[in-house]
Amino acid sequence: MLFFLVLLFVTGCSQISVLDPKSSTGKDQAFLIWLSLGVMAIVLLTVFILFARFVIKYRYTKEKADFIPKDVKGSKKLELTWTIIPFILLAILAVPTVKMTYEQSPSTEAISSKEGVHIQVTAQQFSWTFEHENGKTVHDELVIPEGESIVFQLESNDVIHSFWIPQLAGKVDVIPNKPHSYVIENAEKGEYEGKCAEYCGIQHTNMVFETTVVSKEDYAAYLKKPDNQEGK
């Protein structure tokens, strides 16, 4: 928690886009972040409070100079307490995390037949190419319809990149010769920043793309517009 607060301070982040999600995929992921932060805060507070209490209670005073505390070695009660509590805390973290990870990572076969809007994403140093279902191909500009399942097929032409639209979903590696799929569900209308999140070369920082979520009608109209082949 302290580390998190210091991190906020040193990075000057006043607003963390990952915690302001605009899709159901992003909301599920943000829930996991809050859940682990919550569990972490409970553990941290408990440890700090007990620490302060013990420091005060067992501090050295003249009256207590001869005090010998009760021997608790082998105490079943204590052993069970510090075994069961961490087990419960880990279960609280593990169950939703594993469940959501499986839900958000369906098999390649399940994805290729999945209903929704399919978009082929190709990453290369240092740009993104988006090919829509009707063949429309655009560089560094992603337009998707709201309220749909957007199925991305990700591939890299050269080195490892990482596809990331912080407000819509977590990052996913884009690896050469290893096509990968990723689904973003129910994005809300708006403009979002997309970027490469894996250092991939000298121009890595310029590997960004505009993401615009539009209505279904506007998306249909967009598909009919001529391609932008020039890139940025």
Chain contacts with Cu ion (rule: CB under 5 A):
161, 196, 200, 207
168 close to 147: Cβ distance less than 8 angstroms: no
Which residue, 29 or 122, has its beta carbon nearer to Cu ion? 122
Residue 110, both tokens: 């399940």
State residue 58 phi and psi, 5-degree precision: -105, 20
Q: Is the dihedral of CA 148, 133, 177, 164 positive or negative?
A: negative
* Smallest separation (angstroms) from Cu ion to the CB of 95: 34
Q: Of the two residues 30 and 175, which places its CB atom closer to Cu ion in the complex?
A: 175
What is the closest distance, in whole angstroms, from the C-beta atom of residue 200 to Cu ion in the complex?
Answer: 3
* Residue closer to Cu ion, measured from CB, 116 or 176: 176
Q: Which CB atom, from 155 or from 185, has the smaller least distance to Cu ion? A: 155
Q: Taking a C-beta distance cutoff of 8 angstroms, is the pair 145, 117 a contact?
A: yes
Shortest distance (Å) from residue 220 CB to Cu ion? 31
Q: In what order do the strands lie in the sheet with 117-124?
A: 137-139, 127-131, 117-124, 149-156, 180-185
User: How far apart (Å, rounded) are the C-alpha atoms in residues 187 and 22?
Assistant: 6
Residue closer to Cu ion (CB basis): 138 or 196: 196
The least distance separating Cu ion from the CB of residue 17, rounded to whole angstroms, comes to 19
Please count the other Cβ atoms lying within 10 Å of the Cβ belonging to residue 123.
Answer: 26
In this structure, the chain runs to a length of 232
Strand-pair category, 208-214 with 169-174: unpaired
Q: Which helix (H) or strand (E) holds 45?
A: helix 24-57
Laid out side by side, the sheet with 208-214 consists of 141-145, 208-214, 190-196, 161-165, 169-174
Q: How far is the CB of 161 from Cu ion (least distance, A)?
A: 3
Which CB, 46 or 205, lies closer to Cu ion?
205
Q: How far is the CB of 139 from Cu ion (least distance, A)?
A: 14
